[in-house]
C-alpha cells in the first residue's frame, strides 16, 4: 500500500491514524481452513504508527487483510 492509498483510506474514514505515521509494508499470509482443509492465502498490510501517551512513546502495529486478495490453494 502506498502512502497515497493510505491517505485515501484515512480521508474516506476507513482508517483513522492518531500519531505519527512511520511506514507500511505488505506481505503474503495465510492459514488452513480446519473444516475443509484448504490453504487460504491473502495479502496482509501492516502499518506502524508511533504516538505519545503520558510521556511515553508507544508503537502501534495495525494489521489488515487487503480486500479481494483471498484465494485457495
Residue 31 · residue 41 · CB < 8 Å: no
Report the pLDDT value the prediction gives residue 60, as an integer from 0 to 100.
Answer: 77
- What region, left, alpha or beta, does residue 7 occupy, with left being phi > 0 and alpha being psi -120 to 50 degrees? alpha
Cell (9 digits) for 65: 487483510
Which residues, including other chains, have CB under 8 Å from residue 6's CB and lie 6 or more apart? 15, 21, 24, 47
pLDDT of residue 73: 53
pLDDT in tens, 16-57: 666 787 888 888 888 898 999 988 888 888 888 887 766 777
Query: How would you classify the pairing of strands 71-72 and 56-65?
Result: unpaired
Give the model's pLDDT for residue 51.
79
Amino acid at each position: 500500500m502506498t502512502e497515497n492509498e493510505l491517505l485515501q483510506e484515512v480521508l474516506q474514514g476507513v482508517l483513522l491514524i492518531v500519531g505519527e505515521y512511520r511506514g507500511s509494508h505488505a506481505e503474503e499470509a495465510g492459514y488452513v481452513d480446519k473444516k475443509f482443509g484448504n490453504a487460504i492465502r491473502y495479502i496482509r498490510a501492516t502499518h506502524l504508527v508511533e504516538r505519545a501517551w503520558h510521556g511515553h512513546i508507544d508503537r502501534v502495529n495495525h494489521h489488515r487483510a487487503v480486500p479481494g486478495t483471498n484465494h485457495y490453494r
